[in-house]
Amino acid sequence: MKNPIAQYIQLVRNIERAKREGRTGELLKAAKENAELQKIMMRPRQYATTNGTGEIGWGTAWLFLALPSYVSVVLPDSPWRGRVGMFFLLCGCVAMPICLWASKKFVIQPRIGYVAFRRGKSWWTGIIVGMVVAAGISIALSLWLIPEMIHAAPSSAHHAAATVSVRDTPNRSDKLLIAGCGLMNAVLYLMFNAVSIKEHRWKWACFVLILVMPPVIGQLHPGNYLQMSPPVMLFQGSVYFLSGVITLIWFLHHHQPITLEAE
């Protein structure tokens, strides 16, 4: 494949020259070539949103973040139990970046090449705003969940007995948080599949499951938010992961690697 950036620069020069010289036919031809080139340049981004690796990364992250709660129950009491839980948390944090890197390296580039866009002021502004918003949401949730965390770690047997009744009866905040988790991940699922859902109608079923199952799981597994969240995260992560795997298999089957042309 030829360098699309160099082609674009040459097309812009041709268009300016045609305008100055009044050559309408050449101007229209250059404009058509420009439109085709723009389509090629945007194809890596389109492939990045339709190959399923984003769903795989997000689903893997949720699965890893849910595992520490089960590790603390399955493994015997030892110093290694906490370290295993921290390892899974670390894997959950790096799952998404690794999947996106693997998508670009092994899925997108062999099929369309890669166009490196210069990261300007707007890109860095978006990154900073996203980090600030994420930090604000994390702090707000932490402050909201402090009472639940205190109840989840009683310091005496009497306090433990009192906490059991709270766990079996989730309060309004617990139900709102679980329902909000389902709504957030359902909206995010639509964002992941804004393009591919037109071609994969079965993804609407995944959307409904992600949206409605958290409150159902909360009813089947009553307790406070900290106790209901692991099975919810496990279920939603599984749906994301399986949806991404099916999408990736379909994408690899319908988009074969290309042979690059010499410039």
Amino acid at 122: S
Instruction: State how far the Cα of 236 lies from the Cα of 73, in Å rounded to an integer.
Output: 21
Is residue 115 helix, strand or coil?
A: coil
Between residues 15 and 76, which one has the greater pLDDT?
A: 76
pLDDT at 128 over 80: yes
29, 50, 71 — which closes off a domain? 50
Same domain, 46 and 165: no
pLDDT at 34 over 60: yes
User: Has residue 57 been placed in a domain?
Assistant: yes
CA–CA distances in Å: residue 135 to residues 139, 140, 255: 6, 9, 39
pLDDT score of 156: 39
Q: Which residues of 1-28 are buried (b: 16+ CB within 10 A; e: fewer)?
A: eeebeebbeebeebbeebeeeeeeeebe
Angle between helix 203-220 and 225-254 (nearest 10): 160
pLDDT at 209 over 60: yes
Give the mean model confidence (pLDDT) for residues 36-55: 70
User: Has residue 262 been placed in a domain?
Assistant: no
Give the mean model confidence (pLDDT) for residues 143-162: 51
Same domain, 105 and 167: yes
Q: Give the global pTM.
A: 0.66
Same domain, 56 and 36: no
* Full domain range(s) for residue 29: 1-50
Instruction: State how far the Cα of 33 lies from the Cα of 121, in Å rounded to an integer.
Output: 29
Q: What are the tens digits of pLDDT across the range 55-87?
A: 999 999 999 988 888 887 777 777 777 788 888
User: Has residue 263 been placed in a domain?
Assistant: no
Same domain, 132 and 219: yes
Same domain, 100 and 18: no
* % of the chain exceeding 70 in pLDDT: 65
User: Has residue 27 been placed in a domain?
Assistant: yes
Same domain, 163 and 65: yes
Same domain, 25 and 72: no
Give the mean model confidence (pLDDT) for residues 21-40: 63
Same domain, 2 and 82: no
The pLDDT confidence band at residue 10, using thresholds 50, 70 and 90, is low
Same domain, 39 and 56: no
To the nearest whole number, what is the mean pLDDT of the chain? 75
Cβ atoms of 252 and 52 within 8 Å: the answer is no
User: Has residue 81 been placed in a domain?
Assistant: yes
Cα R_g (the chain), whole angstroms: 25
Give the mean model confidence (pLDDT) for residues 133-145: 70
Same domain, 244 and 126: yes
Please count the structural domains in the chain: 2
Give the mean model confidence (pLDDT) for residues 191-215: 89
Q: What is the signed CA dihedral for 230, 233, 239, 241, rounded to 10 degrees? A: -100
Same domain, 174 and 219: yes
User: Has residue 260 been placed in a domain?
Assistant: no
pLDDT at 114 over 70: no
Give the mean model confidence (pLDDT) for residues 243-252: 91
Same domain, 246 and 162: yes
Cβ atoms of 46 and 255 within 8 Å: the answer is no
User: Has residue 160 been placed in a domain?
Assistant: yes
